[in-house]
């Protein structure tokens, strides 16, 4: 079942924790860390990875991020391995855990992380912000357990939610074969069906989401009132020659008219308002 909730008891517990007070809260304000509400849980994302999870049992992180040692030297000899000092807390090792987290992101995750870092609902003054990422909906296709839609935008003026799927130019799912539509078309169309079938639930749960983050972060986000039925496809990471060549031949030429897409080579030049204008949203 699709849920977005974080109760007052957990909010108070999080606010009192040293890791949140002394490290994470400041990074949220600058967009370095993105907080995403789940079902009585918050996932904290950084540079394309899930930095920490917080629930009733406290903070957790992946072992590959937390395998951190203290050393004044970048390189050590085998003789010195036994003398290395391990971190004793997440607060103690926070900077190195963040560094490790950033090392595992792929090109698409890195592109998504730039967008949510720049337009985080918790840090950006933009009228259009990223409200959630990696949104999992129960699939209507029995062959697929869950789908994860990359980004959920929130137009604060219209009080409207807009889902976006992000693909890098190198992803084979955006290329057509033998004149057929790219695989990503079916993916986007499936998302549209899911959103249409679950619209009321999605709106209700993101009302809970907004209520929780307003309390936690002292924000004043309005409650979402509608959802765009279109899912925007964003394609990133190509140069001018690729745009006029392979991109036109294998993507644009076989893209159905009902698919709203936005193509930009360098994600650093992306302006979120232009995405919606270009897609007629």
Contact call for residues 109 and 49 (beta carbons, < 8 A): yes
Q: What is the pLDDT of residue 281?
A: 74
Distance in angstroms (rounded) separating the CA atoms of residues 87 and 68? 6
Distance in angstroms (rounded) separating the CA atoms of residues 215 and 10? 11
pLDDT in tens, the chain (281 residues): 889 999 999 999 999 999 999 999 999 999 999 999 999 999 999 999 999 999 999 999 998 888 776 666 666 666 666 655 677 789 988 998 999 899 888 888 888 999 999 999 999 999 999 999 999 886 555 455 457 899 999 999 999 999 999 988 878 887 766 667 788 888 899 999 999 999 999 999 999 999 999 999 999 999 999 999 889 998 887 655 555 556 666 666 677 778 888 888 788 888 999 888 877 77
Q: What is the pLDDT of residue 237?
A: 78
Residue 58 region by backbone torsions, left for phi larger than 0, else alpha for psi between -120 and 50, else beta: left
Q: What is the pLDDT of residue 58?
A: 97
Contact call for residues 102 and 110 (beta carbons, < 8 A): no
Residue 191, exposed/middle/buried by CB under 10 A (0-12, 13-18, 19+)? Answer: buried
Q: What is the pLDDT of residue 88?
A: 79
Q: What is the pLDDT of residue 35?
A: 98
Q: What is the pLDDT of residue 67?
A: 78
Domain boundaries, the chain: 110-278
């Amino acid at each position: 079942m699709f849920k977005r909730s974080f109760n007052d008891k957990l909010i108070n517990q999080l606010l009192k924790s040293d890791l949140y007070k002394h490290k994470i809260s400041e990074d949220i304000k600058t967009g370095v860390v993105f907080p995403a509400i789940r079902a009585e849980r918050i996932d904290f994302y950084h540079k394309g990875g899930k930095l920490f999870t917080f629930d009733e049992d406290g903070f957790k992180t992946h072992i590959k991020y937390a395998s951190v040692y203290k050393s004044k030297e970048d390189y050590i000899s085998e003789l010195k391995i036994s003398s290395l000092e391990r971190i004793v807390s997440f607060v103690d090792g926070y900077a190195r855990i963040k560094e490790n987290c950033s090392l595992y992101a792929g090109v698409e995750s890195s592109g998504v992380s730039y967008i949510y870092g720049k337009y985080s609902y918790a840090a950006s003054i933009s009228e259009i912000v990223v409200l959630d990422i990696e949104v999992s909906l129960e699939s209507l296709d029995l062959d697929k357990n869950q789908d994860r839609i990359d980004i959920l935008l929130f137009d604060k003026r219209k009080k409207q939610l807009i889902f976006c799927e992000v693909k890098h130019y190198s992803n084979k799912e955006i290329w057509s074969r033998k004149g057929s539509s790219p695989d990503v078309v079916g993916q986007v169309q499936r998302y549209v069906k899911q959103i249409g079938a679950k619209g009321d639930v999605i709106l209700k749960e993101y009302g809970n989401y907004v209520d929780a983050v307003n309390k936690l972060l002292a924000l004043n986000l309005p409650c979402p009132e509608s959802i765009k039925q279109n899912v925007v496809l964003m394609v990133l990471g190509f140069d001018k020659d690729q745009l006029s060549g392979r991109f036109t031949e294998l993507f644009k030429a076989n893209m159905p008219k009902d698919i709203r897409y936005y193509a930009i080579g360098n994600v650093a030049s992306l302006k979120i308002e232009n995405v919606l204008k270009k897609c007629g949203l």
